[in-house]
Every structure is written in structure tokens, then in C-alpha cells.
Structure 1
Amino acid sequence: MKRWTLIGMLLVLLINTGCWDRKEINDIGLVMGTGLDLEDNGNIKATLQIAVPAPSSQVAGGTTGTEKFFLISAVGKNGIDFNQKIQQKMSRTLFFSHRSIILVGEDLARKGLNDILDMFNRNPRNRLKTYILVVKGKKAGDMLHFEYPYELAPSEALKEMELLWGAGTVVTLRDFLIASASEGTYPTTGVLEPTLYRRSGKKGEDKMFRINGTAVFKSGKLIDFLNNAETHQLLWFKDNKRTDKITVDMPGGKGNVGFIITSSKYKINTDAKRNPLKFHVDLKANGNLFENNSSLDVTDPGNLEIVKKVIENRVKQDMEAFLSKIQTRYKTDIVGFGQQLQRDNPKKWRTVEKQWDQYFAAAEVSVSVNINISNTGAIGPPLHLKDKEIVK
């Protein structure tokens, strides 16, 4: 009797197991990207970019048109409010697990993101690996309207652009949340801005977008933007300087050279014995000379040393200008000086952490640079120069 009872229990378990909460593909609307903008009344407008099913006469609900995505919007006080309003317009359940991009309009970013971040990390359907960018000078929802020639949807193009170009500016929700909650540093994101391109066989120009610069946050609010050149200095501290390119002018207007970094590292040394605090930034990089538009024969060790010094001086000057800006203008440590001080001297950190912005702004920072040129290419001087024009 016990045997048959056990068999019956097993049969019941088998019948009732399985993906009880699964969603069929025909029942869900795949959200590819989200744009968030601040309305005049303080509410938030959310624009979702949703994939359109591939056309097929065999699949019910498919489209016979050529649309790859459609946009749907709603205004609400918070995430649950506007998502509920959008869901009321949908014939399928909103599905956020495949979302790759979250765009935040500049106005909303300046007001602050603290009131909306919780909606992204509390719901397990939201991926913390989703990229987050700030849209400069335009509504985030408008950017999702722009078609991109190479990809199915703007959100897919942005994801690929982040992976391809945005090495230092790539910031996921996870990265942003960790930096926001960390002591001694502040978060940053990549910046998206509109641009134009000309389509073959068509008059006029079409709208497009590009990733350009870095958005700097403090206490959850956007305070300002770093330009492209300043962003390249930030890359040193993000361990993403590899493949970055540096172009420098030679002294006396004698052309320019191009250098590509193959590996880099940095070190921040702290001196907390007295006030103001002192920091020294040591930058090292290996790389190759990929362009020589000067008259120097770089196979000559003396000329190669000249090029090396010019590159080092340029990097040093740019880094000093970048650090001075975030110290004196922003008073915002996005590099991690505070974190390094916390590791090196926890006791000193405890005395300055509550006023770290002021201590950081007043700190003395020095920079040293060591560049190693591993490869100068297959030729020395440019081939188009005459022998008498070449400096050996």
C-alpha cells in the first residue's frame, strides 16, 4: 500500500513540475531600449523601443510591413506608474530581460537619478548589465526614433557602439550603482548626442547619433560633461586605455606623429602626512608608432627618443589639465584618489571622508609619464620625402 502511495505522490509531482511561470514568445513584447525624460510638471516620460516580430504568414500576430521596432510612451510619477500605463496599451506583456540600453535625458539627469534607479534593480527582470547613457541637449525618447543604417534598431546600434568604441565610457547599471554607493569616488556615464549623415541617392541629411564625452555625476545628479579629449584622460584610470590613439605635433611645426597604445597601467601614490594631501600619478604605456608625418627617421635611436619625449610631454600636460578641472571646477573625484587613500591610510581617510570634496579640491597632484615605443613600423621616414628632407 505504501508503495502505491509513493508512486502516486511521484506522479503528482511530475504532473505539477515544469516552467509554471513561463511566457511564450507570442505573449511577450521584447523591450530593446528605454528613454527617460523629465516633463515640465516634474513627472517622467518613458519611451520604450519594442521589437516587432518578423513577418511570417505562418505566425499569428506577425506583421506584414517592414517595421523593425515601434515606440510607445507614457508619463508617470515613477517606474511602476508609467510602466503600468504603457502595459495598458500593449497586447503583450512587457519583457525587459533583453533590454540593452537605457537613455536618460539631460534635464532628468541634472534633476537627479536617485528617484528612478530603484525601479531598475528591484525587479529581477531588469538586467544590471544594461548600458546607461545621458543624452546631451535632446530628449532621450527622441533619440530612439532615429534609424541607424547598419542595425535593426537604434538600441542595438548603441550597444555595439559601446562595445566597439566606448571602452572607457562603457557603464552598465551595475557599474553606476556600485560607483554611486562607493566611498571616495563618483559615477560617470557615456554621453550620446545627435549628429547627421548623408544617405546615398537621397537629398539632404538624416539624423543619427554618436557617443561623445562623459557625464559626471555627484550625489546622483549630473553636474557637467567631459569633452572627448578629457574623456581620453579618464581612460587611464578605467583600465581601458588599450587601443587608444594619441596624436602629437612635433616642435617647430615640423609635422606630427600618431601613437597607438597596446598596454597601459597607472599607479596613485598617496602622502597623507600633512595637509594639503599629496598624490602622485604615475602613468606607463607601451605602444606602436602607426603614423609619422614628420621628417624624422624614427629608425634612428636619437630621433625615436625625441618622439618619445614629445608624446610623454603631451600626455603629462593633458593629464594635469584634466585633473585640475575635476579638482577645482567640479570638486568631484571620479578617478578614485579617495579610494586609494582609504586603502593606503584608513586612519587618515576616516578624518577626511566627510569633507572629501574639499580635501580633494585642495590636494597637490603631480604626474609622471613613461612611454615605451615598441614598434615604429616597417619603414623609417615617410617614403615620399627626398633624402635631403629626411632628418637622420
Structure 2
Amino acid sequence: MIGNDKLQRLIRGGRLATALALLFTLTGCWDRKEINDLAIVLATGVDAFPNGTVELSAQIFIPRAAGGGPQGNTGGSGGNSTGDTLVRKAQGRTIAEAMTRLQRRTSRHLFWGHSEVIVFGQEAAKGGIRSYLDFFLRYLQFREHAYVYVAKGMASSALDNQPLLERSSSEELREMGNLKLGMLVTLKKLTQMVEGDSQSAVLTVIEQVSQKQKNGTRQMTTSMKGLAILRKDKLVAIIQEPVTRGLLLIRNELETMTYSFSLAGLDGTASVNLLRARAHLSPVIAANGDWKLNLDVRTTGDLILNTTDMDNIAETFMSKARTAWAELLREDVESALERIQSKLKVDAFGFANHFRRRYPRQWAREKRDWPILFDKIKVNVVIQTKIARIGKSDLPQGIPEDEIRKK
């Protein structure tokens, strides 16, 4: 028989042998990358040149600047420090080659998983963005929900900017996108638009604007300057107001907007802040083969300005305000249809999607002729407006009460 002491020694020995065997089977974290070995990219820019080369720009976070360490120019080819970030860039025959060359110029491993903004330069957008989309969606580190913009001029210039209110231009662009001042388009949504039935896409355009500071220096700030219209994957036009307002309204993308208008028979103006806007598109294929669309627009807003001499709550005033606002909205819609449908002939509105869902069989037969059909579609526009609130005062300010008209 085995004694207790010997039995205990055997058990301990067996445990030790098992532990050693398990230890040799562990691979460890041999492929880990420490945070100190990473260059975290906050934003990505793509530019194209006439000789066919592609330039990839990366806005990189500077950890020592954010931690209170020394700031300033870090030196190195293609790198400029702008506060808590620097921009590095490299060129190649393809965007993949440019990324490889960019990595060779960086002492840390480039990590693209935090890139929340992608900016295409104007020339890159004109040449077509399909190859770039393929790369961004295929390379595992890039986020499908990164916001996408088109820059007037160079994308690298748009990234190489330190805003006053935000920590970086990438954060500034992300916050401006969340405000929905233009089209809020992610990388995934952009790909769906380009590959969709309409074969078009719409992106917000950004531009660098110089503003003079109190000390006499000039500070570059980012401003949203219209919308970029893409036929398939190529930029064909940049549109401005009022066409942009009409396009966003038809697409149900209009959220942040203030309208000012004159009222018939009254001196002065009124302004309404938009609360809600809903556009309902009803496609119709008539018996004679004509393709039509009924557009029903319903908007609600708050009265925020009245410089007339009429009481805010007077029914005459409210009726005039609703009518004037509706006419302004109609002008926006008609200007968008005139410019985009009649002149550019690009289905930036997404009409094709509505016909495909309503008439799937007819769409399957006619979709190849969609460019011809789209140009001939008649759009019947009906607009209803509602003013929900009139503000803190019933009366227009700055006018004696006995001179205010009640009707």
C-alpha cells in the first residue's frame, strides 16, 4: 500500500507535470501590438493627379501633445504638426501602394480602425471613386460607418487644419456631420448609392475658409459648401442653394434649415425654423405608358422672426406666412428638378428605387432604359406647411401696440 506522504507527493508531481505540459502548448501573445507601437489614424484623405498617381493622407494622433508634452513641428517628409495631430502623406500608382509607402515613412504601425472620416479630393472624385471604395471596404481596419466628404481642392489640405473649437479637423467634420447640415453619408451608404438602381450618389462638399483673428493672424476653418453630385462613381457637378435645399427635401434628408420670406401685401419679412419635413413619393405608370411621380411634402416649423406690422396670431398673418413658405419650398423643389433632372440628367433623388418597389415587373423590363425614362418623368408637387409655435411674444417687437394690425 502507498503511504499518505508518498500519495501526496505523487499528486503534487502529477499536477506539476500537467501544468508544464499545458505551458508548452500555449502560444502566447506573439502577434500583439502595444499602444506605444501604433500610429492611430483619425481621418483619411485621397487625392489624384493628372499623371495617374494617387496620394493617400493620414491624420495621425500625437499622444505626447495630448498628454501635455512638447508640441510643434515633428519634422519628417510630408508631415506637419497641427496641435494634437499631424498629417502624413504618400503617393503611389494605386491607393494600396500609397499606403505601403506611407507606412515606410512612419516609425509606428499605422492603425486605421479609428479613422472616422474619409475625404476625397475634387480631382479624385472626378476621376471615379470605385477603386477607392473597393479598397476601403476590403481592408479590414476601415470602418463602414466612417463619414465621407468631397473637398474643394485637395483632401490633404482639408485634413491639415487645426480648428479652434474641436481637437482635430476629423472631430470637427464628424460633429458637423452629426448636425446634418448637409448629406450624412457613411462609407457603407455611399457604396449602396453607387451600386443602387439610381446609379448615383450625393456627398457633402467641404471647403477651407480663411478667417482673420484678433491678433491679425488668419485661421483656416472648415465650411460646408454645397453638395457633390456623382453619376455612378464620378463627380459631375457641385450644387449650391436653393438647389441643395430642394434635393435634400425630396430625399427626406432635410433637417437643419431656416427659411426667410416676404409676405404678400406686407412690408417686412418672416422667418421659420424647420422642425420636421416629410416628403412622400408615389410613382405612377399610366395606362399610356407614361411614368409619373406625385410628391407630397409636409413641413412644420416655428416662427422665429416677424418684421411686419401684423399681429403674429392673426389668422391673416398666419395664412400669408404658410402660403409664402410653401411657395418658397416649391421654388426649391422646382429648381432642384430643373438643374438635376433636366440639365445634369442624374437620378440623385432616388426615383428609381421607388419605381422598382412599386412596379417590380415593369422595372425589370425597363431598367436598362432608365436614363431615358428619368428625363421624361413628370413630377406633381403638393406642399403643405404648418407653423406650430410663434415664440415668446404674440406681438411684433419695436412697434407701438396701437399701430399693430390685427387683421
Calculate the TM-score normalised by the size of structure 1: 0.90
Q: Is 1:99–2:110 an aligned residue pair?
A: no
Corresponding residue for residue 133 of structure 1 = 149
Cα deviation for residue 93 of structure 1 reads 0.5
Percent identity over the alignment is 24
Unaligned runs of 5+ in 1: none
* 1:122 pairs with 2:138: yes
Aligned-residue offset at 1:387: 3.6
- Equivalenced residue count is 383
2:206–2:224: 8 Å Cα contact kept in structure 1?
Answer: yes
3-state SS, counterpart of residue 217 of structure 1: strand
Correspondences of 1:295-306 after superposition (within 5 Å): 295-306=309-320
1:239 maps to what in 2? Answer: 252
- Structure 1 partner of 2:78: none
Q: Quote the residue 1:230 is aligned against.
A: 243
Q: Encode CA deviations 1:141-160: one digit per residue, 9 max, x unaligned.
A: 12222221122222221111
Residue 239 (structure 1) shift: 3.5
Mapped contact 2:119–2:148 kept (Cα < 8 A): yes
Equivalent positions of 1:28-39 (< 5 A) are: 28-39=38-49
1:216 aligns with 2:225: no
1:103-148, Cα deviation, whole Å (9 max, x unpaired): 1111111111112211100011000111111112x21112222221
Post-superposition shift, 1:319? Answer: 0.7
> Does residue 283 of structure 2 align to residue 277 of structure 1?
no
Question: Kindly tell me: are residues 147 and 243 of structure 1, through their superposed partners in 2, closer, same or farther at Cα, counting changes over 3 Å?
Answer: closer
Distance 1:124 1:383, change over 3 A: same
Structure 1 CA distance for aligned equivalents of residues 342 and 141 of structure 2: 41
1:65 aligns with 2:80: no
1:1-392 superposed matches below 5 A: 11-12=22-23, 15-16=26-27, 21-55=31-65, 64-66=70-72, 67-136=83-152, 138-166=153-181, 168-184=182-198, 186-200=200-214, 202-252=215-265, 254-273=267-286, 274-387=288-401, 389-392=403-406
- Do the aligned residues in 2 keep the contact of 1:185 with 1:335 (CA within 8 Å)? no
2: CA distance, partners of 1:216 / 1:276: 27
Q: What's the offset of the Cα at 1:236?
A: 2.2
- Native 8 Å contact 1:212 1:228 kept in 2: no
Which runs of no fewer than 5 residues in structure 2 stay unpaired?
1-9, 73-82
| Aligned residues: CA RMSD | 2.5
Change (3 A) 1:129 1:272: same
Alpha-carbon shift at residue 190 of structure 1 (Å): 0.6
Whole-Å separation in 2 of the counterparts to 1:373 and 1:210: 30
* 3-state DSSP of counterpart to 1:212: strand
**Does the Cα contact within 8 Å between 2:250 and 2:333 map onto a contact in 1?**
no
